[in-house]
Amino acid sequence: MPDAVMRLWRGDVRGGAFREYRVPTEEGMVVLDVIHKIQATQAHDLAVRWNCKAGKCGSCSAEVNGRPRLMCMTRMNLFAAGEPITVAPIKTFPLIRDLVADVSFNYQVAKTIPAFRPGPGEPDGTFRMMQEDIDRGQEFHKCIECFLCQNVCHVIRDHPDNMPFFAGPRFFVRLAALEMHPMDEAARAEYLRLKAGLGFCNITKCCTEVCPEHIKITDNAIIPLKERVVSEHYDPIVWTWRKLTGRK
């Protein structure tokens, strides 16, 4: 097989540039394999975050030829032989070094999510759930927190000023899982509208396009949440009814 031509971002907060490496490749390699080979043979100080190499830990997120991907799930035969392959760190979050970005913004957002609040349950102290009640939430639980959706979301990627007011797609998935949970009784519409900035999302579906777990983030989480917020805040009939009756 011909050598792979890899253009890797090398640098830190002070600056950097793409540097080219030529690497012998073998059948079945993924981009992360090639990165490891470069690290082992040509650039021992290359910083790269990874863990499971199986698409389940969500650590090796990067931008390969400009597209947000997991490096461990991006096969080398996706690219034309000999074609230079650009690998850059995820762009939305502050760069630490080389291919590693600081994703702690997401952990700060996670702390603000109103927690699961179960209702009183059955008189016998249990809470019975049917399969159909929890099927919908299973999709949301597949999230591996790779933050590719957060990275590609233009609301914060191109407008970092919005970061304090926008939770991002990963957390809309989390909020959808909580909101649609049959036991949960917490009200999150106000949080979604005012704190999580659901209205910033213009449903251009990039989060769905890049999700390695194929979660239909926009159709199954964000839009249903938007509809719930509409029922709470923007429905003129409900609004008129509340004004007339004084009910909340």
CA atoms lying within 13 Å on the CB side of residue 85: 27
- Confirm or reject binding of residue 115 to other proteins (CB under 8 A): no
Of 108, 60, 83, 106, residue with least CA distance to 4: 83
Strands 85-88 and 4-12: parallel
**Pick from 28, 130, 214, 246: which binds other proteins (CB under 8 A)?**
130
Contact status: 242 vs other proteins (CB under 8 A):
no
Query: In the 8-state DSSP scheme, what is residue 52?
Result: -
Inter-residue contact 198 to 225 (CB < 8 Å): yes
The residue from 4, 6, 9, 217 that contacts other proteins (CB under 8 A) is: 9
78-107: contacts with other proteins (CB under 8 A)? 86, 88-89, 91, 94-95
Q: Does 142 bind other proteins (CB under 8 A)?
A: no
What residues from 43 to 82 belong to the interface with other proteins (CB under 8 A)?
A: 63, 65-68
What is the closest distance, in whole angstroms, from the C-beta atom of residue 3 to other proteins in the complex?
Answer: 19
> Which of 77, 133, 142, 164 forms a contact with other proteins (CB under 8 A)?
133
Question: Alpha helices of the chain — where are they, by DSSP H?
Answer: 31-41, 104-112, 131-140, 148-152, 154-157, 169-179, 189-190, 206-210, 223-229, 236-245
CA distances from 82 to 2, 21, 78 (A): 6, 12, 12
Q: Please, what is the minimum distance in Å from the beta carbon of residue 41 to other proteins? A: 25
Give the Cα-Cα-Cα angle 40, 44, 49 (nearest 5 degrees): 85
Nearer to other proteins, 11 or 55 (CB): 11
Contact between 114 and other proteins by CB under 8 A: the answer reads no
For residue 56, how many other CB atoms are within 10 A of its CB?
A: 16
Q: Which residues of this chain interact with other proteins, rule CB under 8 A? A: 9, 11, 13-18, 63, 65-68, 86, 88-89, 91, 94-95, 129-130, 132-133, 136, 152, 154-155, 157-159, 162, 179-182, 184, 197, 199-206, 209-210, 218-219, 223-224, 226-231, 233-236
